[in-house]
């Protein structure tokens, strides 16, 4: 864009006969205006609309060919442009050229007449008025262009947001479907546990009690076996209940529940699991403790299922701003396709990572994953007082992908 609205515009002078052209150039130059003598109408046409502020034409230069050339150009101006032309007429006498100038006015658009002999003050005033109006036209042009760019930016932003919403909606649909699938699998697992363990124990207890009731066999031995089966059933029930929601999480807080779960995870999986907690950990809000426990639970499940790691480290740090949970394994890492999906739309991501991300997002926190051939680091930061934190500050993990930023 030519920034014509911010500098002195040229005044083009077409007066091929006599001394009018150098006289006008001299007068306008002394008044601080840029005056430029041109040899023909084509030079004026070439300067419209971006290079010239106004034109002064002698009536004797306005033959039919010149008028046609100028009119053709001026009629094709943008809507904001109304190029000003001053025509120098004869000294009050009606001549053929004067009549041509008058007739040309409608075709040339913004035309004003200035009679000779010229008075310097009158000419300077007329030219300054023309230039002032022309600058306002350029300001309008700049405003229209700026508005056009703003509208284009808004359209692009709208399209981007619509695409983002569509991607997020699709990701949420996939997550919802995956959650329903996981819920069904969890229900089937609990049903199997109830049938294969508790159901078998209860069936055995019923048989022993029936036999004892009719006096068959050693009743004392039968009752002893019943007591043993009941103890096992109680233990199985307690284990199943604790896995679903450990009572210690409500009673004693995250530290107690995490220590119990990590110890049990190590025994069940054969993976060496270590837990590091602050020396003095006060109780956190219930929603935060529950979220941290579920995140740790899901992360350890992923380590067991996918990482092929022999060890896992869990650490919790807290400050006034928030609580940060880190789970680090030393396995084969997460496939790039999964990492890319987690970083963008959430596509091709298991329900575990997607569920963690949504859980952290609901609490206004940050969830980030770093993965390489040396293993995977998962960090979840949850605010305690509306603060913000860089949860990966100083982390040596070689490749970090941010999956959600609050």
Fold (topology level) of 4-146: Rossmann fold (3.40.50)
Between residues 363 and 63, which one has the greater pLDDT?
A: 363
pLDDT digits (tens, 9 = 90+) for 156-192: 999 999 988 888 788 777 767 766 676 667 677 777 7
pLDDT of residue 277: 94
Between residues 59 and 180, which one has the greater pLDDT?
A: 59
Residue 151 scores a pLDDT above 50: yes
Between residues 62 and 51, which one has the greater pLDDT?
A: 62
pLDDT of residue 236: 73
* 62 and 101 Cβ atoms separated by less than 8 Å: yes
* 297 and 362 Cβ atoms separated by less than 8 Å: no
% pLDDT > 90, the chain: 23
Domain locations in the chain as residue ranges: 4-146, 174-239, 248-404
User: Which positions ≥6 away from 251 have C-beta within 8 Å?
Assistant: none
Name the packing angle between helices 20-30 and 120-193 (round to 10°).
60
Residue of 195, 201, 200 whose CA lies nearest to 231: 201
pLDDT of residue 318: 92
Please compute the mean of the pLDDT values over residues 196-201 and round it to a whole number: 74
Please compute the mean of the pLDDT values over residues 197-226 and round it to a whole number: 77
Please compute the mean of the pLDDT values over residues 318-345 and round it to a whole number: 84
pLDDT category, 1, cuts 50, 70, 90?
very low
| Architecture of the domain whose range is 248-404 | 2-Layer Sandwich (3.30)
User: Which positions ≥6 away from 263 have C-beta within 8 Å?
Assistant: 273
pLDDT of residue 238: 66
pLDDT category, 207, cuts 50, 70, 90?
confident
Mean pLDDT over each residue of the chain, to the nearest integer: 80
pLDDT digits (tens, 9 = 90+) for 253-286: 899 989 988 998 898 889 999 999 998 888 899 8
Residues facing 380 on adjacent strands: 325, 367
pLDDT digits (tens, 9 = 90+) for 296-328: 988 998 898 888 999 999 999 999 899 999 999
Instruction: Report whether the peptide linkage leading into residue 49 is cis, meaning its omega lies within 30 degrees of zero.
Output: yes
């Amino acid at each position: 864009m030519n920034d014509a609205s911010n500098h002195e515009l040229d005044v083009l002078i077409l007066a091929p006969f006599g001394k009018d052209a150098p006289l006008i150039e001299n007068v306008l130059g002394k008044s601080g205006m840029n005056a430029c003598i041109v040899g023909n109408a084509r030079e004026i046409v070439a300067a419209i609309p971006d290079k010239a502020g106004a034109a002064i034409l002698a009536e004797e230069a306005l033959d039919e060919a010149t008028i046609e050339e100028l009119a053709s150009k001026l009629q094709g101006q943008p809507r904001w442009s109304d190029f000003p032309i001053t025509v120098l007429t004869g000294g009050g006498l009606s001549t053929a050229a004067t009549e041509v100038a008058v007739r040309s006015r409608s075709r040339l658009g913004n035309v004003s007449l200035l009679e000779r002999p010229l008075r310097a003050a009158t000419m300077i005033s007329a030219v300054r008025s023309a230039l002032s109006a022309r600058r306002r036209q350029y300001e309008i042009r700049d405003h229209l262009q700026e508005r056009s760019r703003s509208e284009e930016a808004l359209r692009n932003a709208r399209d981007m947001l619509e695409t983002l919403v569509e991607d997020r909606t699709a990701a949420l649909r996939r997550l919802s479907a995956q959650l329903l699938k996981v819920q069904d699998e969890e229900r089937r697992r609990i049903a199997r546990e109830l049938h294969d363990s508790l159901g078998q124990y209860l069936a055995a207890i019923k048989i022993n009690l029936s036999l004892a009731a009719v006096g068959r066999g050693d009743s004392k031995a039968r009752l002893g076996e019943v007591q043993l089966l009941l103890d096992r059933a109680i233990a199985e029930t307690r284990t199943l209940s604790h896995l679903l929601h450990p009572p210690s999480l409500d009673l004693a807080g995250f530290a107690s529940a995490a220590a119990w779960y990590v110890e049990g995870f190590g025994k069940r999986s054969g993976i060496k699991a270590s837990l590091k907690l602050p020396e003095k950990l006060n109780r956190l809000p219930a929603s935060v403790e529950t979220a941290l426990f579920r995140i740790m639970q899901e992360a350890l499940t992923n380590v067991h299922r996918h990482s092929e790691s022999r060890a896992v480290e869990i650490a919790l740090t807290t400050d006034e701003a928030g609580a940060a949970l880190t789970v680090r394994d030393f396995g084969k890492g997460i496939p790039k396709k999964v990492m890319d999906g987690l970083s963008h739309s959430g596509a091709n991501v298991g329900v575990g990572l997607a569920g963690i991300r949504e859980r952290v997002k609901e609490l206004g926190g940050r969830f980030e994953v770093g993965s390489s051939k040396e293993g995977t680091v998962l960090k979840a930061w949850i605010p305690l007082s509306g603060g913000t934190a860089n949860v990966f500050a100083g982390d040596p993990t070689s490749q970090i992908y941010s999956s959600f930023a609050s």
